[in-house]
Amino acid sequence: MRPILMKGHERPLTFLKYNRDGDLLFSCAKDHTPTVWFADNGERLGTYRGHNGAVWTCDVSRDSMRLITGSADQTVKLWNVETGAQLFTFNFDSPARSVDFSVGDKLAVITTDPFMELTSAIHVKRIARDPSQQTAESALVIKGPQGRINRAIWGPLNRTIISAGEDAIVRIWDSETGKLLKESDKETGHKKTVTSLSKAVDGSHFVTGSLDKSAKLWDSRTLTLIKTYLTERPVNAVTMSPLLDHVVLGGGQDASHVTTTDHRAGKFEAKFYDKILQEEIGGVKGHFGPINALAFNPDGKRYTFFYYGMLLLIKFLKTLMSKSSTFSNLG
């Protein structure tokens, strides 16, 4: 491997996202300023200035022309990727936690946190091709889940929305009516907060990570539980290789707890699992502190993770990218 250390944010990162071509990497952080990097060499291209709170999440359009970001400042912003100009601001009454463009980029699903007497909610916004025609109206608003919704994504063909969060239940909603279609089973599903959710390239399945020290693979249409990956630390981030049958888990005990207990308890690797066999097949050892964000480049030959104030872009050696289902420990 050839790791590239990328420095630029002043506070911890919260989310990572590659564009569809894999040449750009977008990072969100608590320093209020989303940043874009060259994915090949880690060079910082620019920043998007305008938020007044932690930026929790982002997504980029298929043509890499528009960026959408959600923030604790109770806004979601649309940006011109190339110039950094703000195109539009959606205002809410509570922090925006998750954003996701639909296939075709004509819609965006946004989740907002519980705040004061407001419950968590899922909002669907229409995205106009011409920014001057953009409106703030919601095409759909879904309310109901208890606690914070940490992630919501589009299901196959934009017909459904998949959400998960603090109540540990994964749900599938009808994206036109807002009707609840399916819920994960409490016996076989997660037992604690679902922290992350990542879908496969073809959208047929997705993986969730949880504080219950597991990740689970689900069918996107039926919500059938397919596989479970067990680890010894809370899972903060999950992703899947677009090239091989690999699932990557990252996490660790919260840093505030680590400092008051055994310092070794917080040490955590980015762990690779065989998607089919559910076995751990390797890992990349990080430093002291939890891994909070993971992202695979669409080419499948590199991935990026954040831990303890550092952003690392990992390039795999060609020998690791053979069609073999296993590889040696990368540490």
- The fourth-level CATH superfamily of domain 2-321 is YVTN repeat-like/Quinoprotein amine dehydrogenase (2.130.10.10)
Question: What's the confidence (pLDDT) of residue 322?
Answer: 42
Q: Where are the domains of the chain?
A: 2-321
> CA Rg, the chain, in Å?
19
Question: What's the confidence (pLDDT) of residue 42?
Answer: 83
Distance CA 243, CA 300 (A): 5
Q: Which residue has the tokens 């929305």?
A: 161
Question: What's the confidence (pLDDT) of residue 16?
Answer: 92
Residue 324, pLDDT > 50, answer no
Residues 216-249 have pLDDT tens digits of 999 999 999 999 999 999 999 999 999 999 999 9
Residues 98-115 have pLDDT tens digits of 999 999 999 999 999 999
Q: How confident is the model at residue 255 (pLDDT cuts 50, 70, 90)?
A: low
Q: Which amino acid is at 158?
A: N
Question: What's the confidence (pLDDT) of residue 286?
Answer: 55
Give the best-scoring range by mean pLDDT among 206-210, 308-312, 324-328.
206-210
Residue 44, pLDDT > 60, answer yes
Q: State how beta strands 24-29 and 269-274 pair.
A: unpaired
What are the DSSP E strand ranges found in 114-224? 121-126, 138-143, 149-154, 160-165, 171-174, 180-183, 194-199, 205-210, 214-219
Distance CA 188, CA 304 (A): 30
Residues 163-189 have pLDDT tens digits of 999 999 999 999 999 999 999 999 999
Residue 290 neighbours by CB under 8 Å, 6+ apart: 233, 234, 236, 250, 251, 252, 253, 254, 255, 266, 268, 307, 308
Distance CA 278, CA 240 (A): 13
Q: Which two three-digit tokens encode residue 78?
A: 């649309």
Residue 326, pLDDT > 50, answer no
Q: Which two three-digit tokens encode residue 254?
A: 């919260």
Question: What's the confidence (pLDDT) of residue 321?
Answer: 42
Residues 47-72 have pLDDT tens digits of 999 999 999 999 999 999 999 999 99
Question: What's the confidence (pLDDT) of residue 306?
Answer: 61
